[in-house]
Amino acid sequence: MAAEMAPRVLPLPRQQSFGPPTVPNPFVHPGRLGAGDKLRSVLQGIILLPLRATCIVFILLLAWLFASIAIFCQRGRGSVPLKGWRRRMIRTTLSGLTRTAFFIMGFQVKVKGKVASLPEAPIFVAAPHSSFFDAIVCALTGMPSIVSRAENLSTPVFGTILSSLQPVAVSRQDPDSRKSTVAEITKRALSRGQWPQILIFPEGTCTNRSCLITFKQGAFVSRVPVQPVLLRYPNKLDTVTWTWQGYSFKVLCLLTMCQLFTRVEVEFLPVHVPTEEEKNDPILFAYRVRQTMATALNVPVTDHTFEDCRLMISAGQLTLPMEAGLVEFTKISKKLNLKWKHVREQLDTFAAIASASKGGRIGIEEFADYLKLPVTDVLKELFLLFDRNGDGTIDFREYVIGLSILCNPANTEETIQMAFKLFDMDDDGTITEKEFASIIQSALGLPELDVSMLFKEIDADETGKLSYDEFKNFALKHPEYASLFTTYLDLQRHQVDLSDEHDSESFQSKHSPVRSTALVSEITPTARNKVCPEGNEEDSSSTSDKKDD
């Protein structure tokens, strides 16, 4: 019986690069105000809020007027750079009005370092990006072009002001928008001064400044020097951080304008001139710039990206803890060749399994219930392969990696055909419940196991027999079973190898179907020989999916 077999000790090496990040969730900022902070904000706001709001509206209207004049009757709007008096108007008036607006809102701006000129650095890269108030960098750098959503250009007042900066527009409706955006940034950066400098927030989304997430490559593909710009908000009360979970845009604006002052530090680091190696590798270029900025900020770096935000929100919609979606998607997808759609579907499956557990993690009991199997040594072994940190539970990150490394590679057409032949003992092209139970019972070492529920789930047409198509469809949707099938076959081979070591007539016994059958419970000689052909040494490669991780 499988339960009586000597336990196998499988090496479980873990690639450190797959380990979870040690930093807190960078996309949330609770920002709870104490009773004293609330009272102080209300009392200050009674006087400050109406005065500041009135002034800001007036400044916005002035900025809209100057922006309208600058782009009035402009030829080739958006495709031809502003020149002459138009560009000077933007640099002087809008820059001055933006500084004035921040001053009226109570911002005390401290600038460190020197702003690089256009020939020195065509691109500014600013981080960490944590607030819409980061726009102060525009005023300090002479109102450069920025990267903005195309939808923003159509908003009243603000859209006109934004258009005067000639932004690089990103369209969500255009599937090729990312490529065209990178191409436009490159064209402008290499224009030799025809276009203004470009300001880019390479993180691509807002964080809580606890770390620097992955930099997108758009600012680094053009292979030109960039100037890193650091942003700090050293305030006791944080009313500026705008993340995916926390205060809304309106609330943060109100809270900030109700404070006497808000400190912000902007530091311009020395220009980073790319080496030949970095010019040929934008990923390396981005990594080194990020490392320089993280060192200056004294914060860690992580491989989180905007896709993690999307997964985090999806996890919350599935009643999972929002942190469940933080898998460092871009890094894992590159290593394991994963697609967004597949990972999103896996989140749905994970949520269905974890719904019965507290904390959004899968325990051995939930894992067994999902597979409609009891907790056995074989199932514990499979669970252990998923449980990368050995804490007795599987989080979504471990689930994604486990499916990609352990299950999906094993769930090939060849494996499914092999498993079907294993179950189809009488070679009639179908699997009865008795045949199905015989193999499952032997694989798990439980001769009395009731597998009727699992069989009925696979038997889609309710004929009492499983066709190959039914078996294949189920296997593709539940790749976890592939590892159970291959584990069972490994157990067979393991026992055959052990018998060969101690049997003086190893050659004869190895070719005896009766001997093979005696080692693996009550499997018929036909099934044994069909699935594990005699003397086939190549079969040992079937465990490679458990070693490569």
| pLDDT per residue as tens, the chain (549 positions) | 334 433 444 444 455 555 555 667 888 887 778 888 889 889 998 999 999 999 999 999 999 999 999 888 776 666 788 888 988 999 999 999 999 999 999 999 999 999 999 999 999 999 999 999 999 999 999 999 998 888 888 888 888 999 899 898 887 666 677 788 889 999 999 998 889 999 999 998 899 999 999 999 999 999 999 999 999 999 999 999 998 878 888 999 999 999 999 999 999 999 999 999 999 999 999 999 999 999 999 999 998 888 888 888 888 888 888 888 888 888 888 888 888 888 888 898 898 888 777 678 898 988 888 888 888 887 888 888 888 878 888 988 888 888 887 676 666 777 778 778 878 888 888 988 888 888 777 767 667 777 788 888 888 888 888 888 888 888 777 777 766 666 555 555 555 555 555 544 443 444 433 333 333 333 333 333 333 433 333 333 333 333 334
Distances (CA, A) of 479 to 82, 307, 459, 473: 57, 24, 17, 10
Question: d(Cα 293, Cα 267) in Å, to the nearest integer?
Answer: 10
In this prediction, residue 483 carries a pLDDT of 67
pTM of the full structure: 0.73
In this prediction, residue 288 carries a pLDDT of 96
Tokens at 208, concatenated: 């809580």
CATH class for the region spanning 310-494:
mainly alpha
Query: Can you name the residues that pair with 168 across neighbouring β-strands?
Result: 147
Is the link from the previous residue into 128 a cis peptide, with omega within 30 of 0? yes
Where exactly are the structural domains of the chain?
35-304, 310-494
In this prediction, residue 409 carries a pLDDT of 64
Question: d(Cα 398, Cα 386) in Å, to the nearest integer?
Answer: 6
Question: d(Cα 21, Cα 25) in Å, to the nearest integer?
Answer: 9
Helix (H, G, I), strand (E, B) or coil at 421: helix
Q: Which residue has the tokens 């845009």?
A: 249
Question: d(Cα 106, Cα 293) in Å, to the nearest integer?
Answer: 27
Question: d(Cα 99, Cα 229) in Å, to the nearest integer?
Answer: 17
Question: d(Cα 171, Cα 154) in Å, to the nearest integer?
Answer: 12
In this prediction, residue 392 carries a pLDDT of 87
Query: Can you name the residues that pair with 78 across neighbouring β-strands?
Result: none
In this prediction, residue 215 carries a pLDDT of 94
Question: d(Cα 425, Cα 436) in Å, to the nearest integer?
Answer: 9
In this prediction, residue 290 carries a pLDDT of 96
In this prediction, residue 492 carries a pLDDT of 54
In this prediction, residue 143 carries a pLDDT of 93
Q: CA angle, 241 as apex, 239 and 247 as ends, to 5°?
A: 75
